[in-house]
Chains A and B, each alone.
Chain A
Amino acid sequence: MDYVNTGIERCKTLTIDKRSGGASLIGYPKSYDILSAFTVGDMSHGVITEENFQRLSESIYNERLGDFKKYVESAESIVSINDITVPGFEAYRQNLNSCPV
C-alpha cells in the first residue's frame, strides 16, 4: 500500500530540562524516545520503527502520545507536559517544508 505525507510531522524525542538559578540540574536535559517501549498504568506499548510510527492512524498515534506523556509526567513528577511545552516545539506540528504534501 502506498503512503503519502499529510504535511504534519510527528516528533519522536521529548527533552525535559529542569533549571534552578539559571543552570540545569545535574542529569538534565534528559531525553525520552516515544519509539521505545514503555508502560504507564495498565497500558504497555512496544518498540516501534520510525516507518510504522509515521504510518500509525491518527487515533492510535494519539493514544500512544497520550500514554507517553503520562509516562514522562510520572517519571519526572511533572503535572502536565502540555503546560510546559515550549511553543513551536509541540509533538505534532505542521511542517510543509520537511513534509511536503
Chain B
Amino acid sequence: MLMVVLRQSRTVAFIEALNFPSVEVKSELDAFIHDLQYRSSITSQVCWLEKLLSDRFRGDITITEGNGLFVDFHINGIQYADKDEAYALINRYKLAGKSFAFVFPDLTITAMWGDGLCETQPITVESAAWSNPVCVEMINPSYYLILSIHPGSTGTPGDISANPFGPYSSGTVVEIRATIAAGGYFNHWEIYTDEGWQFLSNQGLYLHAVVANTKIRAFYSYINQ
C-alpha cells in the first residue's frame, strides 16, 4: 500500500513499530482460537483425556479402569505438584458421576499395621460321650407327673424328683432320687413300655411325661469344659 518512493527501510520499520501491538493482539487471538478449537475437540473418552493430560503435563500419562475398586478410573503419571491443575482439567472433561484417583509416581505411600492384639478362639469340645446311666423306676402311679431335675449349686450333686400334677394330684407321691455329677445334666430320657425301653425326649432339664405303670430312666452326659 505504501508508495514505492516512500518504501525506505526506516519508514517501513517505523510503520511496523506502529503496527506491532496489532500484530501481537492478532497472534494472541489466533492462539486463543486454536486453544478453543483444541479444547472443544476433547471428549470424555479415555484416549482424549490421556492426550489432554499428556499435552499439558508432558509425560507418559495413562488412565486405567478402577476394576471394581472405589473409583471408576485411575490416572497414572501426574506429578504430585500438578495435582490441583490436573484435578480441575479432569473434572472439566470427564463424564458426570465418574470418580477417579491419581497415582502419583513421585509420591511414596506406605501402610503399616501396628498395635497387635492376640487372636483368641473359644475352646471347642472335641468329643462328648454318654456315660454313667442313672435308672429311675416308678411303680404304681397312675398320675400325670412332672419330672424335674434340681442340679443344685455348682459342685454339688443334684437330684430328680417326681411330683403329682393334674387331676390325680391328691394321689400318692412317688419320689425318685438320683445323683448327678457336678457339671453334668440330664438330656436323654427313655420310657419303658411293653416293647422295652424307648427313646422319649432329649429336652434337657424338664420333662413332662405321662406315666402309667411303667418306668422312666434318664441318662446324662458329662462334658468337660
The answer to whether the Cβ of B196 comes within 8 Å of any Cβ in the partner chain is no
Q: CA A43 – CA B3 in complex, angstroms?
A: 84
Q: Do the beta carbons of A11 and B115 come within 8 Å of each other?
A: yes
Q: CA A18 – CA B80 in complex, angstroms?
A: 11
For A86, the chain B residues whose CB sits under 8 A away are 110-112
Q: CA A51 – CA B112 in complex, angstroms?
A: 22
Q: Do the beta carbons of A6 and B109 come within 8 Å of each other?
A: no
Q: Chain A at the B interface: mostly helix, strand, loop or mixed?
A: mixed
A-facing residues in B101-117 (Cβ within 8 Å):
101-104, 106-117
| Residues of B in contact with A, size category | 20 to 34
Q: Do the beta carbons of B69 and A79 come within 8 Å of each other?
A: yes
Q: CA A74 – CA B108 in complex, angstroms?
A: 17
Known contacts A20-B80, A70-B70, A79-B69; is A5 also within 8 Å of B110 by CB? no
Q: Chain B at the A interface: mostly helix, strand, loop or mixed?
A: strand
Q: Do the beta carbons of B111 and A12 come within 8 Å of each other?
A: no
Known contacts A2-B123, A77-B101, A89-B113; is A9 also within 8 Å of B118 by CB? yes
Q: How far is the CB of B158 from chain A (nearest CB, A)?
A: 22
Contact among B102, B107, B111, B225 with A15 in the assembled complex (CB-CB below 8 Å) = B111
Residue in B closest to A101 when the chains form the complex, CB atoms: B118
Q: CA A80 – CA B159 in complex, angstroms?
A: 62
Q: Do the beta carbons of A81 and B118 come within 8 Å of each other?
A: no
Which residues of B are at the interface with A, using a C-beta cutoff of 8 A?
69-71, 74, 80, 101-104, 106-123, 225
For this complex, 26 residue pairs linking A to B, each with C-beta atoms less than 8 Å apart, are A1-B122, A2-B122, A3-B122, A5-B118, A5-B119, A5-B120, A6-B119, A10-B118, A11-B117, A12-B115, A13-B113, A13-B114, A14-B112, A17-B109, A17-B110, A19-B110, A20-B80, A53-B117, A54-B120, A73-B69, A76-B109, A79-B69, A79-B103, A95-B116, A99-B116, A99-B119
